[in-house]
Structure 1
Amino acid sequence: MCWCHLACCYKALPLYTAAILFVEFILVIVRIAIFFSPSSQLVTNSQAVAGFILDWISSLAATLLGILVALTILIILLAILAAILAALCSSRNRVHSYNEDSTSNTLKDLWKNKPLQRLIQLNCNCPCYIARPKARFIARLVFLLVCFIFRIIAIALYASAGSNTNGGSLAIVCAISLACLGTIFLIDLYHYGVWWHYRPQCDTRCSLLSKKHKRYIPYHLIGVNRTMRLGDKPCPDGFQCRNRLLEHILIFHSDDFKPQERYSQVQQKNPDDTLYIGFHRTKPEAAVSIAHSDFSISTNPRTTMLGQGVYFARSMAETEGKANSAGAYICAEIQMGRVKNVSPGSDINALRGTRDWWATYDTVYYNHPNDSRDEFCVKSPDQILRWVMVVDPECDEKVRNYGLDTEFDDTKCGCI
């Protein structure tokens, strides 16, 4: 099993971040002690003061953690004081027990409060990031980059503060703290990887994925799970949306969207446009095999109404009744090539189970009386340019094991 399947690593990310910020908080205390030391003479040095201000701004997250630590210590001291006072009264045992339980629960609630954790880490939890992990990662990356630049400038200002000060020592401690920023960046990178380079529970292969495979998408990001908060709302354009990004189609329009008009209508408007979006449903094991290799051609005469090839539906919802197997959905971009359009009035039976049309056409497109149920068959997997996949909840325990489906549930004020 690959390391990326370890749920404990992901669930412990807040703990890892808190530990790193605590180390950085200690380094902040050391820098403050050096800066305000009577023998350092840094307080009167303008360069050192400017460096200290930049240094403090870049250490804001660690400072917030220090405030939380101080608050925790204060709660513990108050609990001890309450226990001592309780020992002086006749109801000592009852009050002591009550205070002990109350303090324990307060501390647990304090440290397990996710919004508070995000505030300390300056890690925004805006609902728009639910469907846009990349945007969240970039925002965090920009924040860390700004902190890194500020700290580099601070190191330079400390070092140039003069030989008669402790600027050199302060620069060294500040340089050591850069390792904390680097580690937090690696944690953010891992968090981003779990979300946007997700692998479902059924994919335990450590081999490389196909170049055509863009990514798996966790099922809880799919359209039916959209909230009504901020950027996580369903796309306001609905049926009229013309966004062709595969991720956007699956996340925001999995049930309510026909990515394009019928292919014949697309060709009438733009004959040079031979790209089309198709949906495919299959078993999770088959989806994993496709992700690591490519699609395979269907040859069973009972299921190949349009002939041998790879089958796609025009909308994701209509793959339900067409596929003989279930558990995974695929949204793909397809090069249609030369297309043979057929309809219920034409002789479709002549196509069943054959590949006679391969010599003249690349694709057979079936225009169903209900246009939502259109489907088409391509003769070669080479026509399938790229795809994204989603595995059903019944076949993917990883989302629940990692807590991805509840990670944003406790958003209190729309952001943190």
Structure 2
Amino acid sequence: MATWFLIIIYLSFISLGIPDALLGSAWPIMHHDIGAPFGSAGLISMIIAGGTIVSSLASGSLIHKLGTGKITLISCFLTAAALFGFSFAPSLFWLAVLAIPLGIGGGSVDAALNHYVASNYKAHHMSWLHCFWGVGATMGPMIMSYFMADRNSWREGYSAVSMIQFGLVIILLVTLPLWKRVAKLHQATAEAEQNEAMEVGISGDTVQSSERRVHPIRIQGVKFTLIAFLFYCGLESMVGLWGASYLVGARNISAETAAGWVSMYYGGITIGRLITGFVTLKINNRSLILIGQLTALAGGLVLLLPLPDIMNLVGLILIGVGLAPIYPGLIHETPARFGKENAAPLIGYQMAVAYTGTTLLPPLFGLIASQTSIGWFPAFALAFLLLMTLSTEQINRTLKRKSVGK
């Protein structure tokens, strides 16, 4: 039962990823149809991300009151309804209004499912969970590309995605009683394992950390990891939001082709995370993070250079594959770097800063591009990559100095 239920959770995370790249894929045509300024996609993205931040911060108390199953059901319904509204939105104002429930629903699903899997399933399932987000993020632009190419309608693309979301709502409604049942099953198993460990004298936290009494934010290296999360999520979102507009506006590629190529960028993230789950058996997280950053930097350089059009696709895929191990790797390294006792609050700070990067950096680039040129896109991508890489390397240097000092 638990395994089949895990499939439902994975489906939920696919649905979480599907809307994330829709706006960027449709925007080159969409903003003309509704009479919106080119840079206003950044405003919509900011509102969505702002709703995500608010709902993520409130998710703890909501989960305690309503339970993960109900939160996921309500959130998916909000997301489906908002996407359906997007398909009829006549103006930028209505897109902004509908962006609020879209962000709130997405943030609640994200936080609730991460919490549920972390509490009830083993750690490797968390990696696959984020891989399935990539599946959804890849599907979104592909669906939009199909409807723009064959139906000449971004509105039908949003409508189709909303129907997928409503289908998930029905599945969640039918399976709602299973959430508590599966959680109790895992809780009973965990208690049995804990009792067995106590009988043989095993302690899960016997090492006293020198950082225990220090506020987590003041631990050496923490501020650099927060900077890394800021620029990682800012970059990931910026490429998804503005990648198609760059291909159309600076490289004269058709909107339908650009949307399909952006889906390949998300495909790179998805496949990269799937492979990373196996590669971690041989290569440690820190090496994988560095390899990913170098790969993404190579992709940014390919976009920057005046190469044939097909190389833009290669550049986007390289960036996607390069980004794949960075986010889960940084999260997984948190307990090892800063102590298990500090991991919970620090991961919370990391997610908050990550959403802040998603909220602020893509709209900032949109504002600059609207005043200058979308052709600056590769330069900004490289700048974000360099800042992220320098931050993670500074973390490693700081922790190495601490280790030598001991």
TM-score scaled by length of structure 2: 0.22
Structure with greater helix share of residues? 2
Which structure ranks higher in relative contact order (CA pairs < 8 Å, sequence separation ≥ 6)? 2
| Greater C-alpha radius of gyration | 1
TM-score scaled by length of structure 1: 0.22
